Chain A
Amino acid sequence: MTAAVKASGLADVVELRIPGKAEWVAVARLAVSAVASRLKFSIEEIEDIRLAVAEACTDSIQHACGQGQIDIWCESVGNALRVRVRREGTADKTAVSDADDEVSGLGIFLVRALMDEVEYSVHPERGTDLTMVKYVGA
């Protein structure tokens, strides 16, 4: 992970693993909202984080072949929250669901708009990997 936030000590880390299925995305966004609410984010910032994490999970579902697990790491680092959403396995850029056929790419656009730093990769053999950072009050 190479996101720009530097740890100034031991970070508080919350890990979550959910099935790579649409019905579990709500669990991820609720869990990450709870983590964000432990920090000093405003309600609006927590909403931004919630949507960004959900979009990352949705993207990993839409671009993956077959079933799999989505791993989510939340790290509280100083005045920032860093979230990594990774789904291992074979990624397929053509495997986009019907629901997204009108707006392919809109989800990642939203992540970039709502978060302060974003690193995103889709690899044919390694799956999807997205790390994003939100700073309190930025």
Chain B
Amino acid sequence: MDIKINVRETPGGAYVVELSGEIDVYTSPKVKEAIGELIDRGIYQLVINLEKVRYIDSTGLGVLIGGLKRVREYGGAVNLVCTNPQIKKIFDITGLVKIFGIYDAEDAALKASV
């Protein structure tokens, strides 16, 4: 079980963190590190694409919340791309749908980040 992390800059200058695999207590520190590096570089508008994530637990949610708290200090935002019904359900149960922008497509998440 592992996580693949691909960080890319879009032609519009936004940054997308594309995650693939499972985000759990073992892999979430790697995700935290990747997001932290972007924020340390002064990038505060983030799109995190979870379309290829098969599983996320509370530690993964914690990393996303931590990233959001950090970018908000600079007026930034974290928008998520999520199509997996089980993962959407976890965001619903925890009430995180109210604090993250959650979109079905990356284009929509990028538009919201402008």
Contacts and interface: CB of A to CB of B under 8 A. Distances in A.
Interface residues of B, number: 23
B114 interface: no
A101 B1 contact: no
A116 to B, nearest CB: 14
B66 A106 contact: no
B94 A22 contact: no
A58 B58 contact: yes
Main secondary structure of the interface of A (DSSP, over half): helix
B57 A58 contact: yes
Nearest to B69: A102
B26 A101 contact: no
B65 A23 contact: no
Interface of B: 1, 22, 24-26, 28-29, 32, 55, 57-59, 61-63, 65-66, 69, 85-86, 90, 93-94
Interface of A: 22-23, 25-26, 44, 47, 50-51, 54-55, 58, 61-62, 97-103, 106-107, 109-110, 113-114
28 contacts: A22-B25, A23-B26, A25-B25, A25-B26, A26-B1, A26-B22, A26-B24, A50-B55, A51-B55, A54-B24, A55-B57, A58-B25, A58-B57, A97-B25, A98-B32, A99-B25, A99-B59, A100-B58, A100-B59, A102-B63, A102-B65, A102-B66, A103-B59, A103-B61, A109-B58, A110-B90, A110-B94, A114-B93
